[in-house]
Amino acid sequence: MRWALGCLVVACGLVACGEARPSRIVEGRADLSTWEPVEEPLINLEGAWSMSRGALIGPSEALTGAAPTWVPGRWPEDPLGSATYRLELVLPDEAPPLLLSFEGVSTVGRAWLDDQLIAEFGDPETDRMDTRDVRAAIHVSGPVTLTIQVWNPAYRVGGVLDGVFIGTSEGVIERRTVAAVLSMATVAILSALGVLFLVLFASRRREPVYGDFGGLAVLVALREALGGPGEVAYLFAPELPWELALRVEYMALCAASYFGFALALRVAGVSTRTLLARSTMAVAVILALLTAVEPFSWLAGSLIASQALLIWIAVVALPALARASWHGVDGARTMMVILAAFVAAYTFDILAVAGFIETPLRVGAYALVAVVSAQGVALTRSFAASFRDNELLTRALQRTHADLELSHAAAMRFVPFAFLDLLGRRSVSDVHRGDHTHAELQVLFTDIRGFTPLIESLGPERAFPFVNRYLAAMEPCVTDNGGFVNQYLGDAILALYPTPPDDAVQSAVQMCQALETFNEADPEGPIKVGIGVGSGGLMLGCIGGESALRGGVIGDSVNHAARIEGMTKVYGAVVLIDETVAAGLSSPPRFELRCLDRVVAKGRSLASEIFEVLDVLPEELLHRRVRLRPAFDGARGEYVAGRFGAALAGFQALAEEDPEDAAVALYVERCRELVADPPDAWDGITWLTEK
């Protein structure tokens, strides 16, 4: 409430201080013979001028029917028509160069100093109206006669409205500069407030009071830019037609009453959907629309209607605000004081214009700016308090959220996010027993060689930490390549890849590299592993009873990957992949592969080629196997064709060059048996009887 009163007092004080001291004008004559322009650079020629209505009288002609008329002031009778104003000026004998400043002559006219035309208002040739500031430089001394002809063809406000000033160029320019700076600052502050609260409303739609105030502030800023004492709009758009500026100014005033009324009701806690509220707001909208399209001569009537609407809004809103203030509604008392102060200022202006109060002071426009600013401060303080409360609440929510994140992260360690993503679920809490989906995935299965005797040798105290260290070293090789660990089976890892086969094979290669590092650092090593990679369709979902669930996969491709891992023992390989994975690898080849055999795994009926990934071998051994790969393929071709003698010779030659190749040794043994006891029928397929 103190903000509201303070803003209003400051605004009225600025208005009063901004007025120059009026000269003494008696019966149309201003005696300025003793004026010292250096000490008093600006004089307001306010007072009783001689004026004759109904005729445009030349500067050398006598005024007929002249009567004392107060300047500035509007014509009390019919505003249309013409009039001639005259003032005799007695200037100092040695007056310096001076400026005459006409700050609002409605609406077309000319000004003479004696017989010299010194200024034109609007366009006298086309009757184009204007009320902008006009200045005229003069360099005279002694008695002179100032004559102003005014004619008003359409606008229903006539007269010399905003005063005439005389002074040095510094005095006149200082006055206009101060007015322009104040107006620009006012427009900038109101615009910033309006945009700020409109942005707040855009992000907080549940706070319509922000939108109402934002719209009110922007419209008042527009009105101030077009009709304020500094005429800010004309500084940036000097060619802006006065008629258009006036129409937009009145539209802004009507629209501002809409937002101001809505704001007052919301602060009072009164619904804007009542019949009274809606009808009042509808009148404001209709007035704004009429102002946009009605004939120019009706604009003054729209201004009177908008003033009446403002009084009506006060009559409706003030009791509601008083009741809300009585019941302790936050912000209601401040809004009530603001609105009451504005109504008082506006009523003062209406009585002054009507002649009931003889004063040149006009505070309505300044009060409008002041009360909007005061309400902006009140809302800003309210928002700051709300922001502090929200900040405290946010901190509490952040702590709660952190706890939930920890719980969620812990849960995700049991059910990977990638698993949920495949199920189309966002959280563990969304998963239900029986949820499942079909997917084409790559399956990787790895196992430690001789795990059981190793664990027995370590004992319980050392075995569990050892397994965890090993699994921790292997897991990043899976996740870094787009896969996820679906299940740990003791020392075994079952990993799934919804990505291309290259990622699963790359995981296998990285696992072997990580195993070398692990064996060098871990005191319980070294260990060896076998890795099998398969591909195919499987069912993925939640398996369990009422009290326990886990993510599981069901499908032949899972069993097949485990069988392929078991084949690494048979062929002495580290990493084996099936023909589906090999066919899906990128081209050109990213990995060095060697086709080992065409087999039917135990429990299956379909044959599949298996390939050894040579990239996991030491560099020297890798180069040797790659170099000997054509010879291996040739010897195996003889084997598949049933020419066992030729195949035996080929494999024996390979064994001499690479005695460490377990696959070659296996084929040498097979070929010897087949040479000794040839089969009746031969298809080159190996049927495995062990897992």
Q: Which of 591, 616, 641 is the last residue of a domain?
A: 616
More confident residue, 548 or 145: 145
505 and 611 share one domain? yes
Q: Tell me: pLDDT of 148 over 70.
A: yes
Contact 259, 219 (CB under 8 A): yes
Total structural domains within the chain: 4
Rounded mean pLDDT, 521-538: 86
490 and 351 share one domain? no
Q: Is residue 282 a part of any domain in this protein?
A: yes
Q: Tell me: pLDDT of 629 over 80.
A: yes
Q: Tell me: pLDDT of 16 over 60.
A: no
Highest mean pLDDT among 192-206, 342-356, 528-542, 664-678: 664-678
511 and 566 share one domain? yes
Q: Does a cis peptide bond (omega within 30 degrees of 0) precede residue 517?
A: no
**pLDDT (tens digit per residue) in 315-331:** 888 888 888 888 888 77
Percent above pLDDT 90 for the chain: 26
Which residue's structure tokens are 């696992």?
A: 511
Report CA-CA distances (Å) from 175 to 9, 225, 278, 390. 21, 17, 44, 47
- Residues with Cβ within 8 Å of 538's Cβ and at least 6 positions away in sequence, in order, are 438, 439, 441, 443, 553, 554, 555, 556, 557, 558
Q: Is residue 191 a part of any domain in this protein?
A: no
Going along 14-66, which residue ranges are E strands?
25-26, 29-31, 42-44, 47-53
Rounded mean pLDDT, 524-542: 82
Lowest-pLDDT range, 19-28, 60-69, 531-540, 640-649?
Answer: 19-28
**pLDDT (tens digit per residue) in 633-658:** 999 999 999 999 999 999 999 999 99
214 and 362 share one domain? yes
141 and 285 share one domain? no
Q: What is the signed CA dihedral for 609, 615, 621, 623, rounded to 10 degrees? A: 90
Highest mean pLDDT among 2-16, 404-418, 536-550, 591-605: 591-605
Q: Which of 553, 584, 616 is the last residue of a domain?
A: 616
Rounded mean pLDDT, 171-178: 86
Q: Is residue 177 a part of any domain in this protein?
A: no
Please name which of 431, 561, 587 lies closest in space to residue 502, comparing C-alpha atoms.
Answer: 587
Q: Is residue 349 a part of any domain in this protein?
A: yes
**pLDDT (tens digit per residue) in 98-133:** 988 888 776 788 999 999 999 888 877 776 777 677
- The Cβ of residue 201 has, within 10 Å, a number of other Cβ atoms equal to 19
Lowest-pLDDT range, 17-21, 88-92, 245-249?
Answer: 17-21
The band of 417, judged by pLDDT with boundaries at 50, 70 and 90, is low
**pLDDT (tens digit per residue) in 343-369:** 777 677 666 655 566 555 556 566 667
Contact 540, 425 (CB under 8 A): no
Q: Is residue 398 a part of any domain in this protein?
A: no
603 backbone dihedrals φ, ψ, rounded to 5°: 90, 0
The whole-number pLDDT of residue 356 equals 61
Q: Is residue 458 a part of any domain in this protein?
A: yes
Contact 569, 539 (CB under 8 A): no
Dist. CA 547–CA 555, nearest whole Å = 25
**pLDDT (tens digit per residue) in 488-519:** 887 889 999 988 999 999 999 999 999 999 99
Instruction: Report the SS3 class of residue 503.
Output: helix
The band of 396, judged by pLDDT with boundaries at 50, 70 and 90, is low
- Domain limits for position 354: 204-386
153 and 57 share one domain? yes
Q: Is residue 4 a part of any domain in this protein?
A: no
225 and 91 share one domain? no
The whole-number pLDDT of residue 5 equals 45
Structure tokens at 228: 């304020």
Which H helix or E strand runs over 115? none
Which H helix or E strand runs over 108? strand 108-113
Q: Tell me: pLDDT of 429 over 90.
A: no
Q: Tell me: pLDDT of 402 over 80.
A: no
Dist. CA 325–CA 327, nearest whole Å = 5
Q: Tell me: pLDDT of 180 over 60.
A: yes
- Residues with Cβ within 8 Å of 498's Cβ and at least 6 positions away in sequence, in order, are 418, 422, 439, 441, 482, 483
592 and 654 share one domain? no
Q: Tell me: pLDDT of 283 over 70.
A: yes
Lowest-pLDDT range, 386-390, 474-478, 537-541?
Answer: 386-390
**Average pLDDT over the chain, rounded to whole?**
81
Q: Is residue 433 a part of any domain in this protein?
A: yes
25 and 117 share one domain? yes
Length of the chain: 691
634 and 606 share one domain? no
Q: Tell me: pLDDT of 375 over 80.
A: no
Q: Which of 576, 598, 616 is the last residue of a domain?
A: 616
- Residues with Cβ within 8 Å of 550's Cβ and at least 6 positions away in sequence, in order, are 414, 415, 542, 543, 544
Give me the CATH number covering residue 505: 3.30.70.1230
Structure tokens at 595: 């086709």
Give me the CATH number covering residue 62: 2.60.120.260
Lateral strand order in the sheet of 164-167: 42-44, 164-167, 98-102, 134-138
Q: Tell me: pLDDT of 407 over 60.
A: no
311 and 360 share one domain? yes
The whole-number pLDDT of residue 381 equals 63
The whole-number pLDDT of residue 450 equals 85
376 and 253 share one domain? yes
Rounded mean pLDDT, 300-306: 77
The band of 581, judged by pLDDT with boundaries at 50, 70 and 90, is very high
Contact 131, 234 (CB under 8 A): no
Q: Tell me: pLDDT of 530 over 80.
A: yes
The whole-number pLDDT of residue 357 equals 64
